[in-house]
Amino acid sequence: MIDPQVAAAFCLAALLMSLAPGPDLLFVTATGLSSGPRAGLLAAVGVSAGLAVHTAAAALGLGAMLEAFPAAFTAVRIVGACYLVVLAVVAFRDAARAGVPEHGPVRAAQTPPLRVFARALVTNLANPKVIVFYLAFFPQFIDPSRGSVAAQFVVLGALFIVVGLSVDAASGLLAGRLGDALRGRGLVERVLHVLSGTVFAALAVRLAADTR
């Protein structure tokens, strides 16, 4: 139902946007650095699950509702920023504990996979600008004459998720392997967790301050 050339152009645009250092890519990279390749991959999957929810919501018109009710938009944004602050605090706490004999190194294996996935999912869902972006970007590639607009929206959303997951997964795995290669010394471990905490804190400030 979508012209192949249009789909190819959409995938190229999606790839370029996925490669840009946006909140999702930074979150996945920070998770991989601090917690290893497995956590980086799980974070990428969690982000993609969030994008799937955003796709369904946008296709149902919930994005337009968020735009129509600024208070709801602001509430979701603030909750998301607060959650990122919590993740930053946890990362800084782990940095303080790294290398301390009674605690030992803080490793990805100590974080349950479901928790890593849930953190990424919630972080993505707590950014209401994703669904608004969908409503602004996707219609440029939708042709009502080719069938159901909602169905085309879902197809484009699936393509966007596949492209984004490929980039995020590669980033999470590479960052995780880099983190594992550097990890083992107390100082290096502290630096990795501080970097992750700084990224989470910066994303929280960005989300809270961006009122556009």
Asked if 26 and 199 touch (Cβ cutoff 8 Å), the reply is: yes
HEC letters along the chain: CCCHHHHHHHHHHHHHHHHCCCHHHHHHHHHHHHHCHHHHHHHHHHHHHHHHHHHHHHHCCHHHHHHHCHHHHHHHHHHHHHHHHHHHHHHHHHHHHCCCCCCCCCCHHHCCHHHHHHHHHHHHHCCCHHHHHHHHHHHHHCCHHHCCHHHHHHHHHHHHHHHHHHHHHHHHHHHHHHHHHHCCCHHHHHHHHHHHHHHHHHHHHHHHHCCC
Which segment of 1-5, 44-48, 179-183 scores lowest on mean pLDDT? Answer: 179-183
Mean pLDDT along residues 54-83:
74
Tens-place pLDDT, residues 37-56: 999 999 999 999 999 998 88
Is the pLDDT at 100 greater than 60? The verdict is no
Q: What are the domain boundaries of the chain?
A: 4-8+23-209
Distance of CA 208 to the CA centre of its chain: 16
pLDDT band at 101 (very low <50, low <70, confident <90, very high): very low
Percent of the chain with pLDDT over 70: 83
Residue 39 is predicted with a pLDDT of: 93
Is residue 55 within 8 A of residue 165, CB to CB? The reply is: no
Q: Which residue has the tokens 């349950």?
A: 112
Predicted pLDDT at 106:
44
Higher pLDDT residue, 205 or 189? Answer: 205
Position 198: which residue type?
Answer: T
Task: Tell me what pLDDT residue 143 has.
Answer: 84
Query: Comparing C-alpha atoms, which of 139, 146, 130, 129 is closest to residue 10?
Result: 139
Which carries the bigger pLDDT value, residue 79 or residue 115?
115
Report the pLDDT value the prediction gives residue 104, as an integer from 0 to 100. 46
Q: pLDDT (tens digit, 9 = 90+) per residue, 134-158?
A: 877 888 888 888 888 888 888 999 9
11-15, 64-68, 82-86, 147-151: which is most confident: 11-15
Tell me the average pLDDT of the chain.
81
Q: Which of 15, 13, 5 is nearest to 146 (CA)?
A: 5
State the CB neighbour count (10 A cutoff) for residue 154. 17
| Whole-number CA gyration radius for the chain | 18
pLDDT value for 186? 61
pTM of the model: 0.76
Answer whether residue 212 shows pLDDT above 70. Answer: no
